């Protein structure tokens, strides 16, 4: 294994993120080749975490752009502070200056509201990590716009001029695969698929992130989660749910699982009523042991 | 397993380029730009660690998990150090679906005959007349299989109504407007600069989102009773709604969008008569898969896909499930309309229907006009 990748792995684990060679390699390539990294996977497997850990590891700012349907350029890039501008126009009404002078005044940096993408480009000290979260929720028009920004890291604000990034950010995009992303965006990025963790990995994650969780309980939780994911549930629980459950059990001072405890705390793991009913039926029929076996 | 010695630079470059070309031949979208990135990636990894090389190349060259299988197989074949040259393109195409025997009992397997469709009304025993208010209510609930001439005009009217509603959905994006909608501060400020006084409030309103429809209609023997009316409905929709594509399938898929664009229904039917191959068992899964392969760009988030079928599939259920999954991922919504759902004791027990159910967003009846009106509600966001 390449030394740099080994180092990245060590650094990420040091920041309490249980990684694997695939993730470390992808992060290494993204930072070395200076390409954006597209991370896809089911909900709650740790996609967003990668960006956060990367920022922590490099000691740099994390700038987050949360995507949603209808997100457009102005909300992502910049917007003028209209109320402030209108007030200034009002105040200067009787001022004798020319229109172009007034215009230069109110269209200056003091009236510019920088949104995440522009923030990412105007970091003075060092390259930030730009997290574009849940890009699958935005629409195709936004993806095209994003591609333009990601190719040059250059933004033209007509009233001010062209702003070029002094330090190109490291870009991480996440997607829940709710919709297909455009091919153009996929080709532009390196691709990382994060699957649900294996049993061993999940145990490690639980023991690292939930202090006070003993080995036996961690193993039981992981075992149950693995079994849940093999079922045809409406909403498959991810690692986030495992961690919630672990924390809940620690708070209840539990040291092993029994049917009663599982039933009480099921809401930490299953969020759809049909799923809850199915598992409760299983527990009532005495099938806890099945859930606990590998 | 590690390779004993790292390959020499020139070999690596040519090898990588050839590997990329092989991947492209096997269906992965790889441009020279990606090949270049692949070479750069190999420069920063440990070439003696085969697993690492595999991971690195996959990160650069694969763009979705569905490609992993092909990628892994190609990687093993290519970099495994085999003496044989890589297989020529075309040989690694997905294996053909196995020959399937029709196991399902079929009520009617006869080929469709369009010529009888245009003779509407004669000898059917239905009075030809204008539907009044009371007639309308009964028409809405009447099953398609017993439709007569008078009801056809109702089908047209309803289709036009649905099409119009579809064409005017509002999206969340905003566009400039004169009188309606939210205040657009940006334009307001600009306008007021020249006057120093806020006189005009510029506004933004929600853009009209034009939905696209892609419809797949099963025209095999078992759907005979309904196909006639459904095609009438599709004809009316097609001519009212600009963005719609219509496909029919039985054993194979046919695009009939252009055929439906005709001044009269009779004319459209005449054109459809030229389309052969209506006989035989239905291959829903195969047809949909053919669509995914043949028209990959047709579906996007603004598209609603409708499959009109009773679910009698003589193909592999897994193929159908996979095809539906792919379509649902690409499109905004996937709806399955089943005329059999009109009958209260219908249970979707066939393998085809069971495979399809979890993969669709909505499963609705399609046996009378009322069900089509209900459909209109589902077509809204």
pLDDT in tens, B239-259: 777 678 888 888 888 888 877
pLDDT of residue B198: 56
Nearest-Cα distance to chain A for B1, in Å, is 12
Q: Which residue of B has its CA nearest to A186?
A: B63
**Sign (positive or negative) of CA dihedral A172, A175, A179, A183:** positive
Q: Rounded CA gap, B278 and A166, in Å? A: 64
B186 touching A (Cβ < 8 Å): yes
Q: Per the CB < 8 Å rule, is A4 touching B44?
A: yes
**CATH no. for residue A177?**
3.40.50.300
Q: Which two tokens stand for residue B324?
A: 């539906």
Q: Which two tokens stand for residue B59?
A: 């990160």
Nearest-Cα distance to chain A for B237, in Å, is 26
b/e map A111-150, b = 16+ CB within 10 Å: bbebbbbbbbbbbeeebbbbbbbbbbbbbeebbebbbebb
Q: Rounded CA gap, B68 and A165, in Å? A: 35
pLDDT of residue B263: 63
Q: Per the CB < 8 Å rule, is B33 touching A35?
A: no
Strands (E), chain B: 169-177, 182-183, 203-209, 212-218, 244-249, 253-255, 303-308, 333-338, 362-365
Together in a domain, A125 and A52: yes
Q: Which residue of A has its CA nearest to B299?
A: A180
Nearest-Cα distance to chain A for B172, in Å, is 5
Q: Rounded CA gap, B230 and B336, in Å? A: 14
For B37, which of A35, A69, A80 is closest by C-beta distance?
A35
Task: Give residues with Cβ within 8 angstroms of B325, minimum separation 6.
Answer: B359
Q: Per the CB < 8 Å rule, is B301 touching A22?
A: no
Together in a domain, A63 and A127: yes
CATH 3.40.50.410 residue ranges of chain B are 114-166+211-378
pLDDT in tens, A150-194: 988 988 888 888 999 999 999 999 998 877 788 889 989 999 999
Together in a domain, A58 and A36: yes
Q: Rounded CA gap, B173 and B208, in Å? A: 9
Together in a domain, A15 and A41: yes
Where is the domain boundary, A142, A170, A194? A194
A282 touching B (Cβ < 8 Å): no
Q: Per the CB < 8 Å rule, is B185 touching A82?
A: yes
Together in a domain, A164 and A237: no
pLDDT of residue B122: 34
Q: Per the CB < 8 Å rule, is A29 touching B41?
A: yes
Contacts of A1 in chain B (CB under 8 A): 46, 49, 52
Quick check: A35 and B40 in contact, CB under 8 A?
no
pLDDT of residue B298: 82
pLDDT of residue B55: 93
Q: Which two tokens stand for residue A263?
A: 């039933």
B60 touching A (Cβ < 8 Å): yes
Q: Which residue of B has its CA nearest to A82?
A: B185
Report the relative pairing of strands A112-114 and A78-80 from DSSP bridges: antiparallel
Task: Give residues with Cβ within 8 angstroms of B231, minimum separation 6.
Answer: B117, B217, B219, B269, B272
A138 touching B (Cβ < 8 Å): no
pLDDT of residue A146: 92
Q: Is residue A167 part of a domain?
A: yes
| DSSP letter, residue B90 | T
Distance of CA A206 to the CA centre of its chain: 19
Together in a domain, A203 and A233: yes
Distance of CA A241 to the CA centre of its chain: 16
pLDDT of residue A189: 93
Among B23, B51, B58, B63, pick the best mutation site for testing chain A contact (most A Cβ within 10 A).
B63
Give the number of other Cβ atoms within 10 Å of residue B258's Cβ. Answer: 12
Angle, to 10 degrees, between the axis of helix B224-240 and the axis of helix B149-167? 40
Task: Provide the residue-wise pLDDT of chain A in tens; the chain has 294 residues.
Answer: 888 899 999 999 998 899 989 999 999 999 999 999 999 998 888 899 999 999 998 899 999 999 998 888 888 999 888 888 888 888 887 778 888 888 888 888 889 999 999 999 999 889 999 999 999 888 888 998 899 899 889 888 888 889 999 999 999 999 988 777 888 899 899 999 999 999 999 999 999 999 889 899 999 999 999 999 888 787 889 999 999 999 999 999 988 888 889 999 999 999 988 889 989 998 888 888 888 886
pLDDT of residue B192: 66
pLDDT in tens, B136-175: 445 556 666 665 656 667 777 777 777 666 666 556 666 7
Together in a domain, A279 and A218: yes
- Indicate the pTM of the whole model: 0.64
Q: Is residue A205 part of a domain?
A: yes
- Of B102, B143, B119, which Cα lies nearest the Cα of B281? B102
Under CATH, which number does the domain B114-166+211-378 receive?
3.40.50.410
Nearest-Cα distance to chain B for A106, in Å, is 10
Quick check: A6 and A28 in contact, CB under 8 A?
no
Together in a domain, A273 and A205: yes
Together in a domain, A18 and A157: yes
Together in a domain, A260 and A241: yes
A235 touching B (Cβ < 8 Å): no
Q: What is the value of ipTM here, to two decimals?
A: 0.83
Q: Per the CB < 8 Å rule, is A140 touching B300?
A: yes
Q: Rounded CA gap, B144 and B137, in Å? A: 14
Count the domains in chain A. 3
Nearest-Cα distance to chain B for A219, in Å, is 29
Q: Is residue A73 part of a domain?
A: no
Q: Rounded CA gap, B283 and B286, in Å? A: 5
Q: Is residue A280 part of a domain?
A: yes
Nearest-Cα distance to chain A for B135, in Å, is 43
SS3 (DSSP) at B144: helix
Task: Provide the residue-wise pLDDT of chain B in tens; the chain has 381 residues.
Answer: 444 445 556 677 888 888 999 998 888 888 888 999 999 999 899 888 889 999 999 999 998 888 898 899 999 888 775 333 333 333 333 333 232 222 222 223 333 334 344 333 333 333 323 333 334 445 556 666 665 656 667 777 777 777 666 666 556 666 776 666 677 777 777 766 666 555 566 667 676 666 788 999 887 777 776 777 777 777 777 777 767 888 888 888 888 887 777 667 777 766 666 554 455 567 888 889 888 888 877 888 888 899 988 888 778 888 899 889 888 888 888 999 888 877 777 777 777 888 888 888 888 887 777 777 777 777 764
Q: Per the CB < 8 Å rule, is B52 touching A69?
A: no
Provide the domain limits for residue A187: 3-68+119-194
For A99, which of B31, B37, B194 is closest by C-beta distance?
B194
Together in a domain, A254 and A216: yes
User: If contacts are CB pairs under 8 Å, which of residues 244-273 in chain B contact chain A?
Assistant: none
Contacts of B52 in chain A (CB under 8 A): 1-2, 5, 21, 25
A82 touching B (Cβ < 8 Å): yes
Q: Per the CB < 8 Å rule, is B44 touching A99?
A: no
Together in a domain, A288 and A187: no
For A32, which of B44, B58, B358 is closest by C-beta distance?
B44
Q: Which residue of B has its CA nearest to A72?
A: B173
């Amino acid at each position: 294994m390449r030394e740099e990748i080994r180092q990245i792995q060590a650094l990420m684990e040091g920041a309490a993120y249980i990684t694997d060679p695939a993730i470390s390699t992808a992060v290494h390539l993204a930072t070395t080749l200076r390409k954006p990294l597209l991370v896809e996977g089911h909900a709650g497997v740790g996609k967003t975490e990668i960006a956060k850990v990367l920022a922590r590891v490099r000691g740099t700012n994390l700038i987050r752009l949360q995507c949603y349907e209808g997100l457009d350029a102005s909300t992502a890039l910049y917007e003028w502070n209209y109320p402030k501008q209108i007030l200034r126009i009002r105040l200067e009404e009787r001022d004798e200056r020319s229109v172009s002078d007034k215009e230069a005044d109110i269209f200056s940096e003091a009236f510019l509201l920088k949104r995440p993408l522009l923030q990412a480009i105007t970091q003075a000290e060092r390259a930030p990590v730009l997290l574009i979260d849940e890009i699958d929720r935005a629409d195709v028009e936004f993806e095209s716009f994003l591609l333009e920004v990601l190719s040059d890291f250059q933004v033209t604000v007509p009233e001010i001029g062209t702003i070029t990034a002094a330090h190109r950010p490291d870009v991480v995009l996440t997607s829940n695969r709710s919709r297909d992303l455009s091919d153009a965006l996929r080709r532009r990025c390196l691709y990382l698929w994060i699957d649900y963790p294996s049993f061993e990995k999940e145990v490690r994650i639980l023991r690292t992130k939930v202090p006070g969780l003993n080995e036996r309980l961690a193993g039981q939780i992981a075992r149950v989660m693995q079994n849940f994911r093999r079922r045809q549930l409406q909403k498959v629980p991810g690692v986030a749910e495992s961690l919630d459950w672990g924390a809940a059990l620690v708070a209840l001072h539990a040291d092993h699982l029994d049917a009663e405890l599982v039933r009480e705390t099921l809401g930490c793991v299953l969020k759809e009523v049909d799923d809850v009913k199915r598992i409760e039926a299983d527990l009532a029929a005495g099938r806890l042991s099945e859930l606990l076996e590998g | 397993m590690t390779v004993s010695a790292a390959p020499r630079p020139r070999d690596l470059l040519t090898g990588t380029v050839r590997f990329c070309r092989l991947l492209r031949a096997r269906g992965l979208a790889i441009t020279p730009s990606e090949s270049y990135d692949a070479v750069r990636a190999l420069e920063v990894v440990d070439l003696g660690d085969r697993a690492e090389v595999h991971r690195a190349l996959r990160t650069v060259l694969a763009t979705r998990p569905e490609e992993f299988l092909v990628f892994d197989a190609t990687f093993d074949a290519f970099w495994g150090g085999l003496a044989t040259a890589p297989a020529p393109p075309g040989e690694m195409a997905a294996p053909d679906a196995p020959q399937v025997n029709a196991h399902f009992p079929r009520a009617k397997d006869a080929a469709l005959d369009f010529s009888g469709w245009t003779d509407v009304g004669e000898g059917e025993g239905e009075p030809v007349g204008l539907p009044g208010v009371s007639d309308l209510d009964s028409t809405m609930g009447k099953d398609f299989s017993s439709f007569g001439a008078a009801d056809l005009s109702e089908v047209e009217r309803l289709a036009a109504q649905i099409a119009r509603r579809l064409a005017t959905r509002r999206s969340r994006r905003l566009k400039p407007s004169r009188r309606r909608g939210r205040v657009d501060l940006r334009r307001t400020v600009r306008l007021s600069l020249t006057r120093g006084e806020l006189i005009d409030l510029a506004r933004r309103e929600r853009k009209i989102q034009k939905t696209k429809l892609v419809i797949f209609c099963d025209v095999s023997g078992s759907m005979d009773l309904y196909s006639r009316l459904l095609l009438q409905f599709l004809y009316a929709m097609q001519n009212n709604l600009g963005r719609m594509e219509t496909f029919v399938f039985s054993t194979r898929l046919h695009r009939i969008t252009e055929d439906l664009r005709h001044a009269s229904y009779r004319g459209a039917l005449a054109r459809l008569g030229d389309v052969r191959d209506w006989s035989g068992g239905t291959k829903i899964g195969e047809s949909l898969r053919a669509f995914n392969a043949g028209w990959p760009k047709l579906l996007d988030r603004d598209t609603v896909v409708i499959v009109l079928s009773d679910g009698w599939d003589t193909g592999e259920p897994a193929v159908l499930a996979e095809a539906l999954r792919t379509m649902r991922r690409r499109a905004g919504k996937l709806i399955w309309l089943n005329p059999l759902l009109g009958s209260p004791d219908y249970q979707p027990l066939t393998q085809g229907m069971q495979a399809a159910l979890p993969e669709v967003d909505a499963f609705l009846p399609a046996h009378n006009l009322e069900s089509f009106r209900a459909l209109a509600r589902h077509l809204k966001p």
